[in-house]
Chains A and B, each alone.
Chain A
Amino acid sequence: MNWLFYISGLIAVIATVMVITRSQVVHGLLYLVVSLFAVAMVFLSLGAAFAAALEIIVYAGAIMVLFIFVIMLLNPGAEDFDHATKLFAVRVWILPGILSAILFVELLMVLAKGVPAGLHSAAVNPKDVGLSLFGPYLLGVELASLLLLAGLVGAYHLGGRRFEQGENL
């Protein structure tokens, strides 16, 4: 599926350029989510459907929500109510909307055509991933769980002493 790869890659590059040139953090975050969606479509076009699902669930779903929480915690104040009304201005969301719509159309076309032949030849089965995850990579999984525990304890220690919201981290 060459066209899927190239269109998604172009969208990823455009969205990433927009991320690093925004002045507002929230706008940059919006483009970053679009960029992550585009990279997930690139993963799908490369035959890594499991990685694409993980990218959307963990990156765009969980990690971006952490960013949004912190931005909400850091920007209290009255002037942000004006800013919140400006957030719904068409100029702000029209380009991320268009890019996301292109990705959505791509996904619909892939679903409508069934799994294309190009995906089958390069596809790596999620079953293989799971088998090697709990086979040769068992030590790596345990180390990853330790790393997550260390991140949890570190975030609790750093954020929990002064902030009531620290438990969210």
Chain B
Amino acid sequence: MATVPMEHGLILAATLFALGLVGLLSRRNIIFMLMCVEIMLNAAALAFVTGGARWGHADGQIMIIFILTMAAAEVSVGLALILRLYNSLKTMNSDAVSGMRG
């Protein structure tokens, strides 16, 4: 049985990345924005796995481990920032923070 062509995996990764980007640009709820960043990271991981499967290398899955590590660190800091933001401004709207200059 033939394996999946690499182009189809990359098309799926690009679709998921574009959906995450659209969500990030259109939503103003800051938790949704963080979730859309997760979707985009996930799409990048899918592209790495597709490339790794195409050439039979383990490097794609190693990049997954690094992406997971980065996503975990980013989410923990991002959610702590969201808690601080909600505690001081009582809102989840990211536009409310745009007055915080300098």
Known: A42-B46, A48-B53. A132 touches B59 (CB 8 A): yes
Q: Which of A36, A43, A163 interacts with B83 by CB under 8 Å?
A: A163
Q: Which of B45-86 contact A (CB under 8 A)?
A: 45-46, 49-50, 52-54, 56-62, 64-66, 68-77, 79-84, 86
Known: A147-B73, A151-B73. A48 touches B20 (CB 8 A): no
Known: A2-B2, A151-B77, A154-B80. 17 other contacts (CB 8 A): A16-B16, A19-B36, A20-B22, A39-B42, A47-B3, A48-B60, A48-B64, A51-B49, A54-B65, A67-B31, A70-B31, A74-B86, A124-B57, A140-B66, A155-B77, A155-B80, A159-B83
* A25 in contact with B29 (CB, 8 Å): yes
* B73 in contact with A67 (CB, 8 Å): no
* B39 in contact with A19 (CB, 8 Å): yes
Q: Which of A155-169 contact B (CB under 8 A)?
A: 155, 158-159, 162-163, 166, 169
* B61 in contact with A45 (CB, 8 Å): no
- In Å, the complex CA distance between A55 and B52 comes to 16
Smallest CB gap from A144: residue in B = B69
| Residues in chain A near residue B59, CB distance under 8 A | 132
| Residues in chain A near residue B4, CB distance under 8 A | 1-2, 5, 45-46
- In Å, the complex CA distance between A46 and B80 comes to 35
| Residues in chain A near residue B53, CB distance under 8 A | 46-48, 122, 124
| Residues in chain A near residue B70, CB distance under 8 A | 144, 147
Known: A54-B64, A155-B76. A70 touches B57 (CB 8 A): no
Residue numbers of B with Cβ under 8 A of A are 1-4, 8-9, 12, 15-16, 19-20, 22-23, 26-27, 29, 31-32, 34-36, 38-39, 42, 45-46, 49-50, 52-54, 56-62, 64-66, 68-77, 79-84, 86-87, 92
| Residues in chain A near residue B29, CB distance under 8 A | 25
